[in-house]
Amino acid sequence: MSPTDPGPAASADREAVDAAGLRARTAALLAAHDPATTPRPDFLRARFDAGLAWVHFPEGLGGLGAPRALQAVVDAGLAAAGAPGNDPRRIGIGLGMAAPTLLQYGTEEQKRRFLRPLWTGEEVWCQLFSEPGAGSDLAALATRAVRDGDGWRVDGQKVWTSGAHLARWAILLARTDPTVPKHAGLTYFVCDMTDPGVEVRPLRQITGEAEFNEVFLTGVRIPDAHRLGAVGEGWKVARTTLMNERVAIGGSGAPGEAGEGGMLGLVTGTWRGRPELRTHDLHQRLLRLWVEAEAARLTGERLRQQLRRGRPGPEGSGLKLSFARLNQELSGLEVELLAEDGLAYGDWTMTRPEVVDFTGRDAGYRYLRAKGNSIEGGTSEVLLNIVAERVLGLPPEPRTDKDLPWKDLPR
């Protein structure tokens, strides 16, 4: 230990002081804004302004520059007082993808404009990345952004856009230079979804719902002040978004939450409630999935600790892979456990939901909806390549188009 190192005991004391300070700030917020009488939007705005939204963010941007782990101190105090939350399932794209990207690449003006209403849920966000011809190979996208005075004119089509029918803003990746290789000619923008050039059309899924959309962009004008990062560096900015997305999907929705929560809890509940349907084979499968779900939960906790120290790494791709496979296997096991009852499906009416609710629906819905887990947030095939190359250090697959100008690529 160096002479200047305070040692573990001093570090623990400093964290205890920080925790005590956060409890005091939480108490002061509750005293000034009684959750029982303060309108929900007003309370959430006050919480953001007090630095208690996400304590690891900088002061003035909803945080206090405190360790991320101390957010639990604030959340526990507010939950005990019955304070309203910001409905993270509804605004997950904003919280898990747009916010960390804005924090890393946004200007001070952009951060102050967008982060507060993003966190309070007053402005919902969506992600305009995938296209009909550029899903797994995102860098091949064709949506064009052309200079137009002090801004950009954007034309193109995006697809599989969750929540676009609710969104006020979108994070958008577009091609600004077709004469350079595909990864080099991209630029990252914030797009106003209320622009008259934005058209949102529902995509009906196997569940009957349309939580996804296709989005058409026709002459959409984006001011240069809404560009994130430098022109031509959109891929670098997008990687920050994608890494955060995979940790957010794979971690927050882990099927093996502590105490048999999430999808695992639903399946074990069915197992205990229907003893007449048990078989040795089903028992062995459940035990195996329970162990794998617990391993995924612990891996997710380790990745969240990594997040507290800085940016997420490619390991989040492995967690998201595990999440998709476990959700699909667990939902399939639940349908088998229920026998003929597992074939029932509650309602196939066309709806446009605000959130994806795995736990509040029947087993048939969970089985069908889980099929999308291996596509959304990066297909499993692409994530396997990422894990192989960036985590295991295996040789990359040959990429003959890597150095060709985008305009010369076959399409």
**Which residues are part of the catalytic machinery?**
245
Mean pLDDT of 104-120: 97
Predicted local distance difference test score (pLDDT) of residue 306: 66
Give yes or no for residue 79 having a pLDDT over 50.
Answer: yes
Top pLDDT among 381 and 51 is at: 51
Cα(409)–Cα(139) distance, integer angstroms: 12
Task: Work out the pLDDT band at 8, boundaries 50, 70, 90.
Answer: very low
CB 157 within 8 A of CB 139: no
Predicted local distance difference test score (pLDDT) of residue 2: 38
Give yes or no for residue 13 having a pLDDT over 50.
Answer: no
Predicted local distance difference test score (pLDDT) of residue 342: 86
Give yes or no for residue 20 having a pLDDT over 60.
Answer: yes
**Ranges in the chain annotated CATH 1.10.540.10:** 14-120
What separation, in Å, do the N-terminal and C-terminal C-alpha atoms of the chain show?
Answer: 59
Write out pLDDT tens, residues 356-380.
777 767 898 899 989 988 888 778 8
Predicted local distance difference test score (pLDDT) of residue 136: 80
CATH class of 125-233: mainly beta
**What letter does residue 342 receive in the DSSP assignment?**
G
Task: Work out the pLDDT band at 12, boundaries 50, 70, 90.
Answer: very low
Give the residue from 103, 197, 190, 180 showing the smallest Cα distance to 139: 180
CB 266 within 8 A of CB 393: no
Fold of 14-120: Butyryl-Coa Dehydrogenase, subunit A; domain 1 (1.10.540)
Report the half-sphere exposure of 58 (CA within 13 A, side-chain side): 11
Of 153-167, 239-253, 264-278, 339-353, the least confident: 239-253
Predicted local distance difference test score (pLDDT) of residue 146: 98
At residue 187, φ and ψ (nearest 5 deg) are -135, 150
CATH class of 237-391: mainly alpha
**Ranges in the chain annotated CATH 2.40.110.10:** 125-233
Top pLDDT among 209 and 106 is at: 106
Task: Work out the pLDDT band at 249, boundaries 50, 70, 90.
Answer: low
